[in-house]
Structure 1
Amino acid sequence: MTDYRNAPAPSSDRITREAREWVVHLSSGRASAADGEAFRRWCARSPEHARAFVHCRQVWQGMEQAATSESIEAGAHPLPRRRSSRFTRRAFLGGAVAASAAGWLALRSPLDLWTRMGMQSADLWTGTGEQREVVLPNAATVQLNTRTSIDVNRQAEQITGLVLNSGETEITTADGNRLPFTVAAQNGLIEARRARFNVRFTDDRVRVTCLDGQVAVRHRHQSVQLQPAQQVVYNTARLSSVQHVDPDRVTAWRQRMLVFNGTPLAQVVDEVNRYRPGQIVLVNDQLGRVPVQAYLSLDKLEDFAALVKEVRGAEVRSLPGGILIIS
């Protein structure tokens, strides 16, 4: 198994790919003590690493349970004998997946805690589907969206800013701050004195939206000033131009709503996955490009399966553990 200790910071896609490798390796029965140490270091690199592993593991478990159910319904042994040279779907699920069930029983208990431990190492954090408000005295009021990790910066016992490790937050600065309130995210810095603004750090991109007042965004050798209803997006390499946006759509999560207007289904699935336990898996690229128009309540995400069934050609299968397979 590859040791990722000296690897550069990976993208979201690479993290997911590495998580799948760990899932397969740890359930293979060939993992060594050194692999266990390397895995713990990999999970500790960021909350996203641990979260990706838990998601991949949940999908794997859901497949195993589904395979067991199918084998029972068909009166078949979980490890069917070879009837032809062609691998069937049931043979793959019933054999390769069900064979690793014993490994999952050994791993399940500690691994369920590691994602929470990664989040809880931050000063402020939220779990899946959780939102909370934190008042930093004489500094700012901070709203945390789902799966958010934040550290607090202090200078001479005064709170001067935050570090957004991942997730999304809306910040309202307190009146009378002597110093600008700062938010560091990836390789950029946001500064504000009297303002309300939204910062989202997901998929290796940071999106900064000014909702009230003025906000300065510094990225490498560039700096821009944002007015209300203006937004910029940056990654490690570049800062976008200033765009005008609808603040109500940016802050819909504050009303516990998700708003999609012609959004490709693949992006809708990615967003919904941030708020619900389990995992939604889209297995058709063409279907993922279908535009979706929807308003979803975060308190009724169980309606998502019904929404997807309205998409042309979409079929949804529900598996244990909150797994939905869209095909």
Structure 2
Amino acid sequence: MHEDAHGDDVPEHPSDAAHWFSRMHSGETTEADRQAFAAWCSADPAHEREYQKLTAQWNAVLSLPEARLRGLMQATNATQAAPPPPAMSRRRFGLRMVAACALPVAAGLLAAPYLFDRDEKRLNYATRKGERRQVTLPDGSILRLNGDTHLAARFGADERQVELTQGEAFFEVRHDASRPFVVMGGVGQVTVTGTRFNVRRDSESLQVSVESGSVRLESGPWWRHSEHRLGAGQQAIAYASSPLGEVTQVNVDNLTAWQRGKIIFNNVPLATVINEMNRYLMQPASLDAPALGPYRISGVFSVDDPLAMIDALPAIAPVSLERLPDGRVRVLAR
């Protein structure tokens, strides 16, 4: 490995979690780095645990409100006599601090008064069940949120990052090759420079569907990393406990009909239909006829009237409905 690949401030052969964290997040990782990192993680189960702990600390610090972090840093800086070194981006500084000091990430970050990019913006968005919302992000990208969706966005001089914690969103990303747009979704992440795509996060999966342009979907830790390149009309799903799903062709217009207030089913199993309807119903419906789970139906429904969706089922499937006092609905065999 050549020294100029990473600079003279990073050790040639990292041997601890802090230095590996810095190396793998430097933006200059080589294939040799990835292979060496995988070998380091496999050599001792404690290595992976230490690395994951640092990752959790890093994410925890970045999730704190800026005002809170600035207050903590001012308190720490009051005890320091030496002037701070030249300003750099929060990401670059944080990584170099870890590599240089091998200290807990959180402590290193909170101690730096020059950590923040002055132009960085942090934004949080959320919708209730049945609500849809469109917002314009600081870079000019358009974001459309489906109901019951939560996400946080961070925009700085060298990054555009959104974390989707739950729900579904459609992204119309403004092209900026110098600042890739990254969507974090727990079990996977999506990277683009400019395109239109839909992301849906459920408890154990992240579904990505591309309307135009292309995206890179990545899943798994560095040492078990997998990725797909998706183009227009393609979809793939990242799972929490299994390999990245295969790339498939989909009708993205139907898939994103929720933006127009519609939900479209085309030869879909009844069990799947009811699960999808439950995303919009205030009280859930349950299929109490397991044998009818595979029964396939088609139809177009309005998500703005979720009760009408469930009321329409007896007309297109051999079922009846039982409404419970608390508002829940049982779907029974007729």
Whether these two folds match at TM > 0.5 is: yes
- Please, what is the CA RMSD of the aligned residues? 1.9
Paired position in structure 2 for 1:219 = 219
Cα offset, 1:232, TM superposition: 0.9
Paired position in structure 1 for 2:171 = 171
Cα offset, 1:310, TM superposition: 2.3
Whether contact under 8 Å (2:265, 2:298) holds in the other structure is yes
The 1:211–1:305 alpha-carbon spacing in structure 2 relative to 1, beyond 3 Å, is closer
Q: TM (normalized to structure 2)?
A: 0.58
Distance in 2, Cα, partners of 1:255 & 1:160: 27
Please tell me the residue identity of whatever aligns with 2:207: R
Paired position in structure 2 for 1:246 = 251
Paired position in structure 2 for 1:75 = none
Paired position in structure 2 for 1:117 = none
Cα offset, 1:293, TM superposition: 1.1
Distance in 1, Cα, partners of 2:317 & 2:138: 51
Whether contact under 8 Å (1:136, 1:159) holds in the other structure is no
Whether 1:265 and 2:266 are equivalent positions in the alignment is no
The 1:178–1:246 alpha-carbon spacing in structure 2 relative to 1, beyond 3 Å, is same
Return the structure number with greater relative CO, CA threshold 8 A, min gap 6. Answer: 1
Cα offset, 1:203, TM superposition: 4.2
Cα offset, 1:313, TM superposition: 3.7
Distance in 2, Cα, partners of 1:305 & 1:160: 40
Please tell me the residue identity of whatever aligns with 2:128: G
> What are the within-5 Å matches in structure 2 for residues 14-163 of structure 1?
123-138=124-139, 140-155=141-156, 160-163=160-163
Please tell me the residue identity of whatever aligns with 2:279: R
Distance in 2, Cα, partners of 1:295 & 1:325: 21
CA offsets, 1:94-151, max 9 Å, x none?
A: xxxxxxxxxxxxxxxxxxxxxxxxxxxx921111111101111215211111111111
> What are the within-5 Å matches in structure 2 for residues 272-283 of structure 1?
272-283=277-288
Cα offset, 1:317, TM superposition: 1.6
Paired position in structure 2 for 1:194 = 194
CA offsets, 1:226-258, max 9 Å, x none?
A: 111111111023111211111111111111111
CA offsets, 1:239-284, max 9 Å, x none?
A: 1121111111111111111111121111111111111211212211
Please tell me the residue identity of whatever aligns with 1:307: A
Aligned residues: 205
Paired position in structure 2 for 1:210 = 210
The 1:204–1:305 alpha-carbon spacing in structure 2 relative to 1, beyond 3 Å, is same
Whether contact under 8 Å (2:187, 2:206) holds in the other structure is no
SS of residue paired to 1:123? strand
Q: 2:232 aligns with which of 224, 228, 235?
A: 228
Whether contact under 8 Å (1:186, 1:235) holds in the other structure is no
SS of residue paired to 1:253? helix
Paired position in structure 2 for 1:285 = 290
Distance in 2, Cα, partners of 1:171 & 1:192: 10
The 1:278–1:239 alpha-carbon spacing in structure 2 relative to 1, beyond 3 Å, is same
Cα offset, 1:159, TM superposition: 6.0
Q: 1:318 aligns with which of 297, 319, 323?
A: 323
Distance in 2, Cα, partners of 1:281 & 1:160: 40
SS of residue paired to 2:147? coil
Whether 1:302 and 2:307 are equivalent positions in the alignment is yes
Whether contact under 8 Å (1:165, 1:185) holds in the other structure is yes
Whether contact under 8 Å (2:227, 2:244) holds in the other structure is no
More helix by share: 1
Whether contact under 8 Å (1:145, 1:253) holds in the other structure is yes
Cα offset, 1:155, TM superposition: 3.4
Whether contact under 8 Å (1:216, 1:225) holds in the other structure is yes
Percent of residue pairs bearing the same amino acid type = 27
Distance in 2, Cα, partners of 1:133 & 1:159: 22
Distance in 1, Cα, partners of 2:313 & 2:179: 48
Q: Which runs of 4+ in 1 moved over 4 A?
A: none
Q: TM (normalized to structure 1)?
A: 0.59
Paired position in structure 1 for 2:25 = none
Paired position in structure 1 for 2:85 = none
Cα offset, 1:185, TM superposition: 0.7
SS of residue paired to 1:218? strand
Paired position in structure 2 for 1:84 = none
Distance in 2, Cα, partners of 1:182 & 1:153: 10
SS of residue paired to 1:315? strand
Cα offset, 1:321, TM superposition: 4.1
SS of residue paired to 1:310? helix
